[in-house]
């Protein structure tokens, strides 16, 4: 059965490019981004892993750990990392899981038989520090992931976890957010001293409370 939002992310032990890990221990109290790749030495995935490495400081700022998974061996992974570093002008500093037995792929329902019976689809799982699945994305093999969007969603979730707000379409940090409908307008004006702009009784905006 596929994982749903709010489900507990399954734990696992796996061999990776940094040695054997326990997934929960690896994450610790950090957020996690687990993303899968159909196979090593593939062009789209090479750009994706390179982009993840280029965004290393952005992930660290947000207390996020990235970890990738592919069905090939650690030896293949290490050879691939050399190519990634060379072609993407970066330094891959996160682990890549060797999932030859498809253990992780099956735990996270990453193999979709109608797409491929042996290779993982391009999945993304964002996991919060309490080990809950907070976002899932699945891309077709021909389309590279948008890592700017992944960072944006993390920013939104971290903000909305802390404040009683939601983020509107295309929101980016620093832009106005939506006041939760659980808060009455008279209470919202006290809770959000920067001001509340009411468009409709159910649609109220306030400046980003994190700024």
Question: What residues are labeled active site?
Answer: 45
- Name the 3-class secondary structure at 28: coil
d(Cα 150, Cα 156) in Å, to the nearest integer?
A: 10
As given in the structure block, the two tokens for residue 126 are 């964002």
Quick one: which of 150, 155, 196, 192 has its CA closest to 173?
155
Q: Residue 127 pairs with which residues in a beta bridge?
A: 32, 133
As given in the structure block, the two tokens for residue 17 are 């490019």
As given in the structure block, the two tokens for residue 71 are 């069905």
As given in the structure block, the two tokens for residue 132 are 């809950």
* Terminal Cα distance for the chain, rounded: 40
Work out the angle at residue 177's Cα, subtended by the Cα atoms of residues 159 and 53, and round it to the nearest 5 degrees: 45
Q: Is the Cβ–Cβ distance between 65 and 30 less than 8 Å?
A: yes
d(Cα 196, Cα 194) in Å, to the nearest integer?
A: 7
């Amino acid at each position: 059965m596929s994982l749903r939002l709010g489900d507990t992310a399954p734990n696992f032990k796996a061999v990776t490019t940094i040695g054997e890990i326990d997934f929960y221990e690896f994450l610790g109290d950090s957020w996690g981004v687990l993303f899968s790749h159909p196979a090593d030495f593939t062009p789209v995935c090479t750009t994706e892993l390179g982009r993840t490495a280029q965004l290393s400081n952005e992930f660290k700022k947000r207390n996020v750990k990235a970890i990738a998974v592919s069905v090939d061996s650690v030896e293949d992974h290490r050879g691939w990392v050399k190519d990634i570093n060379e072609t993407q002008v970066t330094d891959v500093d996160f682990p890549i899981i060797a999932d030859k037995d498809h253990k992780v792929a099956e735990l996270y329902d990453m193999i979709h038989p109608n797409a491929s019976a042996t290779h993982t689809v391009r999945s993304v799982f964002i996991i919060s520090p309490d080990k809950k699945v907070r976002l899932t994305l699945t891309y077709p093999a021909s389309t590279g992931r948008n890592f700017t969007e992944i960072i944006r969603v993390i920013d939104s979730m971290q903000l909305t976890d802390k404040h009683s707000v939601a983020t509107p379409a295309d929101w980016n940090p620093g832009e106005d957010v939506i006041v939760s409908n659980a808060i009455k307008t008279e209470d919202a004006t006290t809770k959000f001293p920067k001001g509340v702009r009411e468009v409709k009784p159910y649609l109220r905006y306030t400046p980003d409370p994190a700024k």
